[in-house]
Amino acid sequence: MREITLSQAVNEALAEEMRRDETVFIIGEDVAEAGTPFKVLSGLVEEFGTARVVDTPIAEPGFMGIAVGAAMTGTRPVVDLMFGDFIYLIMDQLCNQAAKTHYMSGGKLSVPLVLRTNLGATRRSAAQHSQSLHALVAHIPGLKVALPSSAYEAKGLMKTAIRDDNPVVIFEDKLMYQDKAPVPEEEYLIPFGEANVLREGSDITLIGTSSMVQVCQKAAEILGSEGISAEVIDPRTIVPLDEETLLASARKTSRVIVVDEGHQSFGVTGEIASRINEKAFYHLDAPVLRMGAMDVPVPFSPALEDITVPTPESVVENARRLVHGEMIHAA
Amino acid sequence: MREITLSQAVNEALAEEMRRDETVFIIGEDVAEAGTPFKVLSGLVEEFGTARVVDTPIAEPGFMGIAVGAAMTGTRPVVDLMFGDFIYLIMDQLCNQAAKTHYMSGGKLSVPLVLRTNLGATRRSAAQHSQSLHALVAHIPGLKVALPSSAYEAKGLMKTAIRDDNPVVIFEDKLMYQDKAPVPEEEYLIPFGEANVLREGSDITLIGTSSMVQVCQKAAEILGSEGISAEVIDPRTIVPLDEETLLASARKTSRVIVVDEGHQSFGVTGEIASRINEKAFYHLDAPVLRMGAMDVPVPFSPALEDITVPTPESVVENARRLVHGEMIHAA
Amino acid sequence: MSRAKAKKSNVDDYLRMYRQMARIRAFEDNANQLYLSAKMPGLTHMYSGEEAVAVGICEALRVTDKITSTHRGHGHCVAKGAEFKEMFCELLGKEEGYCRGKGGSMHIADQSNGNLGANAIVGGSMGIATGSAFTAKLLGKDDVTVCFFGDGATAQGLWYEVMNMAALWKLPVIYACENNGYSEYTRTDEIAAGSIVARAEAFGIESHQVDGQDVLAVNALTEKLVARARKGEGPFFVELKTYRYHGHHVGDINRDYYRSKDEEKDWKENRDPIIRFRSWLVEQGIANEAEIDAMNAEIADDAKAAVDYALAAKYPDSTEVDMHVYTDVKHALARGDAR
Amino acid sequence: MSRAKAKKSNVDDYLRMYRQMARIRAFEDNANQLYLSAKMPGLTHMYSGEEAVAVGICEALRVTDKITSTHRGHGHCVAKGAEFKEMFCELLGKEEGYCRGKGGSMHIADQSNGNLGANAIVGGSMGIATGSAFTAKLLGKDDVTVCFFGDGATAQGLWYEVMNMAALWKLPVIYACENNGYSEYTRTDEIAAGSIVARAEAFGIESHQVDGQDVLAVNALTEKLVARARKGEGPFFVELKTYRYHGHHVGDINRDYYRSKDEEKDWKENRDPIIRFRSWLVEQGIANEAEIDAMNAEIADDAKAAVDYALAAKYPDSTEVDMHVYTDVKHALARGDAR
Ligand SMILES: Cc1ncc(C[n+]2csc(CCOP(=O)(O)OP(=O)(O)O)c2C)c(N)n1
Ligand SMILES: Cc1ncc(C[n+]2csc(CCOP(=O)(O)OP(=O)(O)O)c2C)c(N)n1
Ligand SMILES: [Mg+2]
Ligand SMILES: [Mg+2]
């Protein structure tokens, strides 16, 4: 199968959906001629024109609000938020307006929009351009949250997102834009709420999201070479969350690590760990272990930044300890 | 001991600190003559004048930003955010600026501000005036988060917050403003990061935050009458979180319910449950049970709103099932 | 009333304008009564006194044109064509309400008439209105959107962001600022520096001021602007000077500390939009006092019937609580969860 | 250069202004070189071409006056008094950097000289600057704060919110818009409707436009406004027309698609603030070519020494990673955690 980059995959997904449905449009800063700073959208304005690939002023709350209103009245906006860190600026429009409109109107209005943004540290971009803020959004009922972990995932999830009648937030890993993966030429969609078991295993389950899927895959390889059989699961969407697949794996391996690049506390790992603890408790040989990003603002210095996020090595180390029964804390 | 309302307690805390330290000032909408819509600040402008009790236009991001800059340059602002739901509007100033400035400056700048706001549903105020959004803030390193559960707590925590050199967010329960509790005349502070054991027990631990502390207390009474001995703990601050006290109780009772009024998913209950599962796993007889608000926007209709939040009855019911070993899910 | 002279051909329009203003007043009087008699859950914000704004504007709109409304939204809702019954049901949290009781007063929406909804975030609908206008432009429709908001909302940065884009992209949106002199308990001049009109003009947006108590003046101006917006000559800004008779919300009873009873009296007695328009109708021979009294009585009956209906109507079933969280999931929550 | 005539008494000031502009240029040339030779982590935004803005303004400020800066912040930092060594250390993520390497280029701050920091959120410091001015007023100090931001940042609603409050409360803040004609890859006229100056004026804020390539003009205007702001006559707005020579950031090399090489050439050759000021200094007999060359050489040496120092300097120890999260907690994280 041909291989394309995550960036190209997103670009294809958008182009295909814009061809299919003329109510789809893109709105954001420097999305047109510049094709975004990450060049993900290059070529789209040439095909679809500036009416549908809309450059905005630097006014995130404003264009997010415009997208909400546009979505309510018959279009399908794809909002381009240049950095995931700017989500703080649009929280009101996203969480008070987009997320709640369908419910508050008793089902009469809907807001079929996609918010495309990104996450991921270790790009030396410092504290305001390196955050992974998907947990904030996942906390708000009414929003769906997708976390593609490869070019293949990015394309399939984006197409599904655009066709979804609800507000969907997609966080792409900005370090993965140039990573290639096999992506079929034929059209495909990836349904929301169906986790992907990337590798089967029997000793331990590694649940990774987004950027951390690769980390878990690499960890699983290393563990495999040591005779530890790790299952790797990518939930793909955290809202909706495919509990069944996660629980089945937890019950099978009885040991679980959840790895996510958001800050560990009050984030994604706590939710997934809790659900597994709640519903597979009596199958577990050890507590579900959480590995998020450190609870510190992302430091600029490379010497510091790299140690704030989970790595294959740190996952391996924790997996070993879990499997060898060393996780009985002070407990 | 004299009894005063939570509203009066907050008012006293502010007045005392403003007398003690002339760099403390209050800023927000209708805080002066009107004393806020909840009338919590009545009388302060008369004592401290409009220079220190500052009415603003309806511009939350703006006055939050002003508070950040004021705090960085030698004052101690207390920002009044009328409803906790408006926190979405100020997330950038709070989370990108206030929370990170000390870290990003390598410790050279600091932002000693207090953000006073509220939480709590069942006031028939619908989806945009009823949210309990403390989990969002707790996820962001650099912020401290206090959740007073009574007039006594509100006064002591507010005074501590004002003296803290970090940005602190205090969520008051807006349904509790008129609730009275004993509050000493003498000055006192409540340290952050020290949970309060309100009731000792041996069969089960009920961890409640803010509005849910009373719910847990009532549940414990009912349970007591049924011969179930429940320990009730109020963490007081969720950042920092007093893990030790929570863990000690979990190890003692071996059964835990965490009750919080924020949405359940990706929220506070997951974090607390996970920490207990991780660190007291081998002491638990059952999974830590979580009870948050339903993952739905808060409905206006009284017929619906009341069922979205935990109640003493629902806590009792879950506690019974836990204690009687009925929580072995499909697991 | 203004110097306007009645046009024969417009008799129906005049009477409908009067009726709509009277309906708003009747709706609010009943809503206030429901609050005072503790029959309404929560609080609500009365539109009484500002009727000429909503009616003057909405009468210039088609059903396919859109509006966005505010926390003080009953007037806009009625003016854009809503029915009393569904409105009172909504205010009381009943299943037959426009939003199945899930929104309440602060979120009442009526998409069948193009009302995209009230909003409990001050300024929260400015983006939505602009986006609605964006849709019209993108899809090549000639719908116009009116964005209602108060003087207090002009302090929100969102407005400047969306005005900039509306102006750059020539969107068919009209920003209508209902300047009632107060935001909550604060006078406008204490919270608005410079000139509100100049702020819109600075973005290159053609701006107007009009007496918000004169329904004919409001309507005439709006007719013109709407026609031009349909042709792509928008956006526009209109500041409408008006007044709210009640407190900020129904519970805001003792308000001497921020405004005087004399001031309220002056507006009610000397500038009431309904009284003024009534005199004009009579003066111009469009209706006589008896006809108008009959209309008012009919409206009062309608309102009372709707209130009675709503009081007796049923609440949504508790199973509705997790419906409409998502469009494609009937019940958002797994049933077996622990609450 | 402008029609200004040198004043004898100001010779030192003139030379310091030149030196500061040359220092900024030297700093940026070295930073760019560090990027091109892959020695600098991440990206950075060059201030080259805009030196007269930062220097003209900051030379009118005292050390106790405050500034807030932007993503394009090296110029402001140098102009407000920072040292090369700590700056390069910061850019390279070293412990001796102004922020111990934790902030980097986009967050460089130097509180000892009143620089409250660069900001990676466009417009993100507008509130901070206004708040700093609020402090001065509340505590009765006569400090003035200058808020630097770009033309692109004028699209952020936050600006309008804080201008309103600054105007209402007469705060000693000067909003300085560095209009370099572009925000990222987009021309200003494509993202700014109407008039930027009129927007500030609409809030009742006295506003000025000045040639941002003429350091004397910038300085003269700022001197006046700062003096007035100190007396409580603020706030003020100044739009400074200027140009950035490099791409949006150091990695933005191929930029023909949004601006022409000719345009860049014209600005560099005909309006360079340093060249212009140098000619004027010579013309007015304040310095001769040789003296200026010597100054430039000295600056180049300083910069090189600082770069070398920074390259050799040590990174912060890994135990620093959880320090400075809170003021009162040495290490924010319990050691035993699982990462
Ligand atoms: C973002 C936000 N801030 C504050 C409030 C509280 N609030 C509700 S209405 C109101 C005053 C609005 O004034 P104005 O826009 O003039 O409308 P009016 O009530 O006069 O019709 C305020 C401050 C809110 N609902 N939303
Ligand atoms: C809130 C926010 N939106 C977008 C960006 C990305 N961004 C960084 S600089 C920039 C352009 C800023 O233009 P301008 O304010 O004119 O400053 P200049 O770069 O020209 O100095 C943009 C869009 C950002 N950092 N922050
Ligand atoms: Mg008003
Ligand atoms: Mg610029």
pLDDT of residue D1: 54
pLDDT of residue D3: 61
Minimum-distance CB partner of D165 among B62, B109, B240: B62
- The per-residue pLDDT string of chain C (339 residues; one tens digit each, 9 = 90 and over) reads 556 778 877 899 999 999 999 999 999 999 999 999 999 999 999 999 999 999 999 999 999 999 999 999 999 999 999 999 999 999 999 999 999 999 999 999 999 999 999 999 999 999 999 999 999 999 999 999 999 999 999 999 999 999 999 999 999 999 999 999 999 999 999 999 999 999 999 999 999 999 999 999 999 999 999 999 999 999 999 999 999 999 999 999 999 999 999 999 999 999 999 999 999 999 999 999 999 999 999 999 999 999 999 999 999 999 999 999 999 999 999 754 444
pLDDT tops 70 at residue B120: yes
pLDDT band of A81, cuts 50, 70, 90? very high
pLDDT of residue A327: 61
> Low-confidence residues of chain D, pLDDT below 50?
336-339
Domains and CATH numbers, chain B: 3-182 (3.40.50.970), 196-323 (3.40.50.920)
Q: How far apart are CA D105 and CA D118, in angstroms?
A: 8
Q: Does residue D24 fall inside a structural domain?
A: yes
Q: Does residue C251 fall inside a structural domain?
A: yes
**D152 C-alpha vs ligand 4 centroid, how far in Å?**
5
For residue A36, the ligand closest to its alpha carbon is 2
Q: How far apart are CA C20 and CA C81, in angstroms?
A: 9
pLDDT tops 70 at residue A40: yes
- A232-247 average pLDDT score: 98
Mean pLDDT for all residues in chain A: 97
pLDDT of residue B259: 98
Q: How many domains does the structure of chain D reveal?
A: 1
Structure tokens at D169: 């409360």
Q: Report whether residue D292 contacts ligand 2, using a CB cutoff of 6 Å.
A: no
Note the Cα A158 to chain centre separation in Å.
11
Minimum-distance CB partner of C131 among A52, A65, A103: A65
Nearest to A255 by CA among A164, A177, A322, A174: A322
More confident call, C9 vs B324: B324
Structure tokens at C266: 């002056």
Q: Does residue C124 fall inside a structural domain?
A: yes
Structure tokens at A326: 């060393």
Which amino acid is present at D326? Y
Nearest to A270 by CA among A139, A130, A88, A86: A139
For residue D50, the ligand closest to its alpha carbon is 2
Q: How far apart are CA A13 and CA A19, in angstroms?
A: 10
Is any Cβ of chain C less than 8 angstroms from the Cβ of B304?
yes
Q: For residue D254, give the CATH number of its domain.
A: 3.40.50.970
Task: Tell me C194's DSSP state.
Answer: S
Quickly tell me which residue has 């920490």 as its tokens. B275
pLDDT tops 80 at residue A113: yes
pLDDT of residue C81: 98
The predicted-structure confidence for B79-116, as pLDDT tens digits, reads as follows 999 999 999 999 999 999 999 999 999 999 999 999 99
pLDDT of residue D2: 56
Q: Does residue C4 fall inside a structural domain?
A: no
CB of A118 closer than 8 Å to CB of A173: yes
Q: Which of A42, A58, A83 is best to mutate for the D interface (most D CBs within 10 A)? A: A58
**B258 C-alpha vs ligand 4 centroid, how far in Å?**
50
pLDDT of residue A331: 42
Cβ < 5 A residues, ion ligand 3: C 150-152, 180, 183
Residue whose CA is closest, atom 17 of ligand 2? D150
Q: Does residue D34 fall inside a structural domain?
A: yes
Q: Pinpoint the alpha helices (H) of D236-272.
A: 261-270
The predicted-structure confidence for B195-228, as pLDDT tens digits, reads as follows 999 999 999 999 999 999 999 999 999 999 999 9
pLDDT band of A215, cuts 50, 70, 90? very high
Q: Distance, in angstroms, between B266 CA and closest chain A CA?
A: 5
pLDDT of residue D19: 98
User: Bridge-partner residues for C211, per DSSP?
Assistant: C241
Nearest to D58 by CA among D37, D45, D73, D39: D73
- Helix or strand or coil: residue C17? helix
pLDDT tops 90 at residue A27: yes
Residue whose CA is closest, atom 13 of ligand 1? C183
- B162-184 average pLDDT score: 98
Burial A31-51 (b: 16+ CB within 10 A, else e): bbbbbbbbebbeebbeebeee
Q: How far apart are CA B189 and CA B13, in angstroms?
A: 10
Ligand 1 site-directed mutation target among C71, C185, C188, C267, most atoms within 8 Å of CB: C71
Is any Cβ of chain D less than 8 angstroms from the Cβ of A43?
no
pLDDT of residue D337: 47
B321 exposed, middle or buried (CB, 10 Å; 0-12, 13-18, 19+)? middle
Quickly tell me which residue has 């739901």 as its tokens. B85
The residues, ordered by sequence, that sit 6+ positions from D180 with a Cβ below 8 Å of its Cβ are: D49, D50, D150, D151, D242, D243, D244
pLDDT of residue D263: 97
Cis peptide before A37 (omega within 30 of 0): no
Task: Tell me C110's DSSP state.
Answer: B
Edge to edge, the sheet with strand D173-179 lists: D66-68, D145-150, D173-179, D236-241, D206-211
- B284-303 average pLDDT score: 97
Q: Does residue C248 fall inside a structural domain?
A: yes
Is any Cβ of chain B less than 8 angstroms from the Cβ of A197?
no
- Report the atom number in ligand 1 closest to the C-alpha of C149: 15
pLDDT of residue C338: 44
User: Bridge-partner residues for B208, per DSSP?
Assistant: B259
Structure tokens at A327: 């996780």
Ligand 2 site-directed mutation target among A82, A87, A125, most atoms within 8 Å of CB: A82
Structure tokens at D184: 């990222």
Q: How far apart are CA C149 and CA C126, in angstroms?
A: 8
Q: Report whether residue C53 contacts ligand 1, using a CB cutoff of 6 Å.
A: no
Q: How far is CA A186 from CA A1, A40, A155, C118, in A?
A: 11, 20, 11, 44
Q: Does residue D2 fall inside a structural domain?
A: no
pLDDT of residue C183: 97
Q: Does residue D70 fall inside a structural domain?
A: yes
- A229-242 average pLDDT score: 98
Residue whose CA is closest, atom 5 of ligand 1? C122
pLDDT tops 50 at residue A168: yes
Residue whose CA is closest, atom 21 of ligand 1? C150
Range of the domain at D25: 11-335
Phi, psi (deg, nearest 5) at residue C29 = -60, -40
Q: How far apart are CA D104 and CA D90, in angstroms?
A: 5
